[in-house]
Amino acid sequence: MRMYNIIKKKRDGRELSKEEIDYFVENYVNGQIPDYQVSALLMAIYFNKMTARETIDLTKSMINSGDTVDLSKIDGIKVDKHSTGGVGDTISLILGPMVAACGVPFVKMSGRGLGHTGGTLDKLESINNLRVELTTEEFLSNVNKINIAICSQTANITPADKKIYSLRDVTATVDNLSLIASSIMSKKLAIGSDAIILDVKVGSGAFMKKVEDALDLSREMVRIGTSYGRETIALISNMNEPLGKAIGNTLEVKEAIETLKGNGPDDLYELSLRLGTKLLLLAKKVNSEKEGRILLEEAIKSNAAYNKLIELVEHQGGDIEQIKNPELLPKANYIIEVKSKKEGYVKSIDAERIGQCALKLGAGRKKLDSKIDYSAGIILNKKVNDKVMINETLAFLHANNIKKAKEVEEELKDIFDIGDKNEKCKKIVYGLVTKDRTELY
Ligand code: URA
Ligand code: CA
């Protein structure tokens, strides 16, 4: 078999066999196939797509590229969550501690920032000394002890996804249904959780721009999960503006802390509750949505969820003083206020462009080996539907590079679309996909 022929076959729009998919995945992981050939194949997949069969085979191949983790020794129904990637998506840092505090084991292998979106691992690593590279033993022991672990794909789990994910990030081949579905589901299936919730983002800041596409992606992932005998459901949620107010690593850690203390932004809190309720139901901890919501709200009011975040940080070697006193987290040298030139209502805040601005300030990677500026990012002072006066602050830029910040300042004024009248209500969740049905809200 030759990689050249596999690239050519996909370039010409034909279906790859299981053997061809296994061949490229295996040999890319063991270093026999160079990045440039895989980049070309990814671009061919991007344009010509993969069939459902190819997508399942790619997922299998990626799972088989490394080890799998058996969670059967951990009592209870273990749950996992994954987002398809958004801007300011601080959910995992809130949802994980919330459900763990309710007694449900939350096991999660997360990713780093991809394209214009942020990654949970980068956010966690903005806390001093926090380790996301846990051994399988540490990972299991933490879940046993405190009901939660969030780690990276080390311990040789889906090494194929790890390599392909980084390559997609820098070759503009992220937003393809099969590549996203196989990437997410291989990670979820390599870890033996019993139930999986997928937060499929749709809108300007998501890889899927239309609800139809998000539904297709959801169905594909639910199909893959179900074929492996895992209870898998997907919520389709709004990513037309960034989630919450903070975008950027330490800024989002602070936002998560605030939310766990009950003082978070409404949309972030509400989505955490919606996802959490579904997880408690999947884990058979509660019998109704209402009961689930009450349990989660109690975990916030009693500080149990906040204390769970502290335990998580502690067990992964992080500095808990930075959680107890977020002022100790790294801070940017400059904070610039972005003022409105117009009066009116915020009609939209293009989340992808906001994500790109955060990237420009240093909050994400431009190349495979770029270093992240953890303190850089954006705090939105206005969200969609808010009233704005001339010269009122739209956002605060947190930056260490003043020149870049000035450029971003101008761009942000343009990204906030300010109009005459209020837009219709903002939906947080559009729908639900389970193995049997699709519900639209
Ligand atoms: N998250 C992932 O893990 N993979 C993708 O491809 C996109 C989002
Ligand atoms: Ca946020």
Report the separation in Å between the CA atom of 365 and the middle of ligand 1, taken as the mean of its atom positions.
15
Q: What DSSP state is assigned to residue 191? A: B
Report the separation in Å between the CA atom of 117 and the middle of ligand 1, taken as the mean of its atom positions.
10
For the CA of 117, the nearest atom of ligand 1: 8
Q: Which of 61, 183, 272, 375 is catalytic?
A: 183
How far is the C-alpha of 292 from the C-alpha of 279, rounded, in Å?
A: 9
Q: Which CATH class is domain 331-419?
A: alpha beta
Task: Give the HSE-up count for residue 158: Cα atoms under 13 Å, Cβ half-sphere.
Answer: 27
For the CA of 85, the nearest atom of ligand 1: 8
Angle between helices 159-170 and 52-64 (to 10 degrees): 120
CB-neighbour burial class of residue 410 (10 A; exposed 0-12, middle 13-18, buried 19+): exposed
- Pocket test of ligand 1: the residue of 108, 174, 213 to mutate, having most ligand atoms within 8 Å of its CB, is 174
CATH topology classification for 3-48: 1.20.970
Q: Which of 10, 162, 187, 360 is catalytic?
A: 187
Is the Cβ atom of 180 under 6 angstroms away from ligand 1? Answer: yes
pLDDT in tens, the chain (441 residues): 999 999 999 999 999 999 999 999 999 999 999 999 999 999 999 999 999 999 999 999 999 999 998 898 888 999 999 998 889 999 999 999 999 999 999 999 887 777 777 789 999 999 999 999 998 889 899 999 999 999 887 658 899 998 999 899 889 999 899 999 999 999 999 998 999 999 999 998 888 999 999 999 999 999 999 999 999 999 999 999 999 999 999 999 999 999 999 999 999 999 999 999 999 999 999 999 999 999 999 999 999 999 999 999 999 999 999 999 999 999 999 999 999 999 999 998 999 999 999 999 989 887 767 789 999 999 999 999 999 999 999 999 999 999 999 999 999 999 999 998 766 667 999 999 999 999 999
DSSP 4-40: HHHHHHHHTTPPPPHHHHHHHHHHHHTTSS-HHHHHH
Query: CATH 3.40.1030.10 occupies which residues in the chain?
Result: 79-325+429-440
14 an active-site residue? no
Instruction: Please name the residue whose Cα sits nearest to atom 8 of ligand 1.
Output: 84
The SS3 assignment for 265 reads coil
Query: CATH 1.20.970.10 occupies which residues in the chain?
Result: 3-48
- Pocket test of ligand 1: the residue of 80, 89, 114, 196 to mutate, having most ligand atoms within 8 Å of its CB, is 114
Query: CATH 3.90.1170.30 occupies which residues in the chain?
Result: 331-419
Contact call for residues 185 and 205 (beta carbons, < 8 A): no
The ligand minimizing its distance to the Cα of 114 is 1
CATH topology classification for 79-325+429-440: Pyrimidine Nucleoside Phosphorylase; Chain A, domain 2 (3.40.1030)
Pairing state between β 438-440 and 334-339: unpaired
pTM to 2 decimal places:
0.91
